[in-house]
Every structure is written in C-alpha cells, then in structure tokens.
C-alpha cells in the first residue's frame, strides 16, 4: 500500500486527502496549528461565529460546487445580500456583485475543512510542524518538531518513510521546508527558488462587535481602486447562524500596504483605526466604538501570482507534490481545493 504524507491541513491538503479516500493508500496529514482549516478560519465568541480569513466560497468551479452541494452540504448556508463598492474617497456605490453564490457554513467557513476531513478520514497529526524532508533511496522521511513520533534527532522527530509527500503550506512556508531539506540534488534548489519567488499580500483582519444591528442594504463593501486603507468590510450577520439577532459583527480587512506597515502592532490601536474607518464608510458614528474586537493577522494572506511554470512538474518527478492556491495562481478557496483534489488524483493514479 502506498504511504503518503500531506503537509498542511488547509483545503488544498484536505482536498488531496479527499481524492485519495478510496485508494489503496495510507495518508498521514501533518498540520502545524492545533486545528485544521488554514486560511478557511472561524472564531467564536459570545454566541457569534466569524470568518476572519476567507469570507466565503464562491461557485468558481463546477466540481467544488457539486461537492459542497452534495457530500459536504451539511450546514452549508448562502450569504445574504450583495457586495457593493467604495473608492479612495470612501464613496459607496451599488454593484459589482460578480459571485452568483456565496457559501459558508452555519458554524463558519472552517466547517468546510471539517467536512472534507470527515469524508477523507486521513490520519491527522495537529501541532506537528514539518521542519524538513529527507530524501531516501525509495521515498521521503518527514521531520517534525512536535515531539510525539517514532525517533528523535537534534530536537526533531522522524516520521516515515513515505512513498510521496504533498506540500501545501503557503509558498514561503513551503520554501522554508525545502531550504531545510536533506536532498542532495540540484533540482531541490531550483524548485525552492521558484516557490520562494511567489509574491504575497499581507492582510490584517479586524472583527468588530456591536450590541445593536446595522441596517445597510449590502452584505459587504469592496474597495475597487485599491487606494483606501480598508480593502473589504462585511457583516457576519448576513450569514445565517453567525450572529444573534439585534447584534452586528463587522469584519474589516485592512489594505495590504496598511497591513504590512502595522503588522505586529498593538491590537487595540489597530481595532480603533478599523472602527473609525467602519464608522466613516457606513456613515454611522456608533460604529467607532465596538463593545469588543478581535484581530487576525495574515502575513501570507493571498498569493499575487502562481509559482513559475515547471517547478510543480520538476518536483513531481521526485515524488514530491505541490498544491495550494499559489500553485493554482488564484488566492481563492475553490482554486486551492481543486489544486488539492487534482494532486490527489494524480497520486491515486500512481503519479
Ligand atoms: C483575509 C483573507 C480573506 C480571504 N477571502 C477569501 C474569500 O472571500 N474567498 C475565497 O475563496 N478565498 C479567500 N481567501 C483565500 C483563501 O483563504 C485561500 O486561498 C485558501 O484558504 C488557501 O488554502 P490552502 O490549503 O492552499 O492554504 P492554507 O489554508 O494556508 O493551508 C496551509 C496549511 O499549512 C499549514 N502549515 C504551514 N506550514 C506548515 C508546516 N511547516 N508544517 C505543517 N503544516 C504547515 C498551515 O497552518 C495551514 O493550515 C482569503 C484569505 C485571507 C487570508
């Protein structure tokens, strides 16, 4: 039986596991965090669920649509309301709601990962950061820093051996794993260089809660000229099950330049700025003072481009597979999921 390691428990890694679910393969998924989902991320507080990474899944791929309306449909809900636009001056205009369907789950977008994982049923190891890979004669050894596997060396833990490895962390995280790899072959550095070159946008996402409802005719506002300090502002109460009646929870995603310059700053100051912007954009003074807030920082939020052609095939020739939104060249859930599914299918066919 083929033994496969998947690194990363976002939708790409889980999509790969899903494709392999009925194959004669033993699949182990290593996830750095204490939970799966990656950037399909939801938090809970005071009866609210809020998606502070990906806002929703759009119907961007027919296979993904079939999956979420079929085997992954339990708890799926449609976001209610249109997306409007605003410009550098904060001028709001109706329109540009390009996505026919906007899906999340009643308990948040992270449920997408849970549904995939339940259906795929891989062996999941959370809090298991893959530090490095080691090339052997017939496959790969995976070195983690979790301290819970079957042998130790220099503070690291040996897991393996695997016939193939699928790498799905963001491109910079994948490049780190490749930089540490014990793989004495010139192609390793060529692949690492291509992966490390993928450009990313940083986003700070701010959740602002209010004990009253905000009455506006749109679900979200998106900044179309990319000149405003806010990139996106949306209302979680437009997602069935997310916010108790009579309350409002705004998600304000700050623009990439602003986010990069304020990354790591004190959360209260970031939230105060985001709340001030929310109050101006929605023309409601009350919004400057939320009763609570929460901050999510995404250093590598969205890839601005895909990995250079050739790198994926070069890696595959050595039983090393790359998947994720940065492989698809599109920072979207459906693109990441398809990338994972197609990678799993290739593996299932024996590469
Ligand atoms: C603020 C924000 C808003 C967004 N809005 C939308 C939206 O509205 N709609 C949409 O479709 N998409 C949106 N996206 C993009 C979407 O979230 C991503 O495209 C998608 O989640 C990528 O999935 P992935 O599996 O490729 O990567 P990830 O979800 O990043 O998964 C990679 C996983 O690898 C793990 N990992 C990293 N390094 C290691 C390691 N060394 N060892 C083990 N595990 C490791 C990480 O913890 C993570 O769980 C948004 C993203 C952000 C950040």
Cα-based torsion angle of the residue sequence 79, 80, 82, 84 in order, rounded to the nearest 10 degrees: -80
Ligand 1 test: best mutation among 38, 64, 98, 102, most atoms within 8 Å of CB? 38
- pLDDT tens across 196-205, in order? 999 999 999 9
pLDDT score, position 156: 84
Q: Dump pLDDT digits (tens) for 33-55.
A: 999 999 999 999 999 999 999 99
Nearest CA to 130 out of 29, 200, 36, 38 is that of 29
Ligand 1: residues with CB < 6 A are 7-13, 30-33, 38-40, 53-58, 129-130, 168-170, 173, 177, 203, 205, 253, 298, 301-302, 324-325, 331-334, 336
Across residues 70-78, what is the average pLDDT? 98
Q: Which of 231, 269, 265 is nearest to 251 (CA)?
A: 231
Q: How far apart are CA 282 and CA 218, in angstroms?
A: 10
Query: In sequence order, what are the residues at sequence separation of 6 or more whose Cβ sits closer than 8 angstroms to the Cβ of residue 349?
Result: none
Instruction: Identify the pLDDT of residue 1.
Output: 87
* Pairing of the two strands 76-78 and 92-93: unpaired
What's the CA gap between 224 and 68, in Å, rounded?
29
- 100: confidence class by pLDDT, cuts 50, 70, 90: confident
Radius of gyration of the chain (CA): 21
Nearest residue (by CA) to ligand 1, atom 50, is 54
Mean predicted confidence (pLDDT) in 113-128: 97
Write the pLDDT tens digit of every residue in 171-180. 999 999 999 9
Confidence at 81, pLDDT banded by 50, 70, 90:
very high
Q: Please name the residue whose Cα sits nearest to atom 33 of ligand 1.
A: 8
pLDDT at 13: 98
Q: Tell me the per-residue pLDDT of 152-167, one tens digit each, with 9 for 90 and over.
A: 554 689 998 999 999 9
Report the nearest-CA residue for atom 8 of ligand 1.
55
Interval 176-235: pLDDT, tens: 999 999 999 999 999 999 999 999 999 999 999 999 999 999 999 999 999 999 999 999
Going along the chain from its start, the domains and CATH numbers come out as 2-38+115-198+306-348 (3.50.50.60), 56-108+200-303 (3.90.660.10)
Compute CA distances 323 → 131, 275, 326, whole Å: 18, 36, 8
Specify the pLDDT at position 331.
98
Residue 150: pLDDT over 70: no
């Amino acid at each position: 039986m083929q033994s496969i390691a998947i690194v990363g428990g976002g939708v790409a890694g889980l999509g790969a596991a899903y494709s392999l679910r009925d194959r004669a393969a033993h699949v182990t998924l290593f996830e750095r965090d204490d939970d799966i989902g990656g950037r399909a991320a939801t938090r809970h507080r005071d009866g609210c669920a809020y998606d502070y990474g990906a806002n929703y899944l759009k119907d961007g791929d027919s296979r993904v649509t079939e999956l979420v309306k079929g085997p992954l449909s339990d708890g799926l809900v449609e976001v209610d309301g249109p997306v409007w636009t605003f410009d550098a001056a904060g001028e709001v205009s109706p329109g540009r709601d390009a996505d026919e369907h906007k899906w999340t789950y009643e308990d948040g977008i992270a449920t997408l990962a849970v549904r995939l994982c339940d259906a795929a049923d891989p062996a999941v190891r959370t809090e298991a950061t893959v530090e490095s890979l080691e090339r052997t004669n017939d496959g790969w050894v995976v070195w983690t820093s979790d301290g819970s596997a079957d042998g130790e060396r220099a503070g690291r833990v040996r897991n393996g051996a695997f016939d193939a490895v699928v790498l799905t962390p963001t491109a910079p995280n994948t490049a780190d794993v490749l930089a540490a790899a014990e793989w004495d072959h010139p192609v390793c550095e060529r692949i690492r260089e291509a992966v490390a070159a993928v450009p990313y946008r940083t986003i700070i996402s701010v959740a602002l809660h209010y004990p009253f409802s905000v009455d506006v005719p749109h679900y979200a506002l998106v900044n179309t000229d990319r000149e405003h300090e806010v990139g996106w502002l949306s209302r979680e109460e437009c997602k069935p099950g997310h916010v108790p009646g009579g309350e409002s929870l705004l998600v304000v995603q700050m623009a990439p330049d602003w986010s990069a310059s304020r990354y790591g700053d004190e959360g209260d100051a970031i939230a105060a700025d985001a709340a001030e912007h929310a109050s101006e954009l929605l023309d409601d003074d009350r919004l400057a003072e939320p009763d609570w807030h929460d901050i999510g920082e995404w250093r590598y939020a969205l890839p601005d481009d895909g990995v250079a052609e050739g790198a994926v095939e070069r890696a595959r020739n050595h039983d090393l597979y790359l998947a994720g939104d940065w492989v698809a060249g599109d920072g979207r859930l459906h693109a990441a999921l398809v990338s994972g599914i197609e990678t799993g299918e290739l593996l299932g066919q024996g590469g």
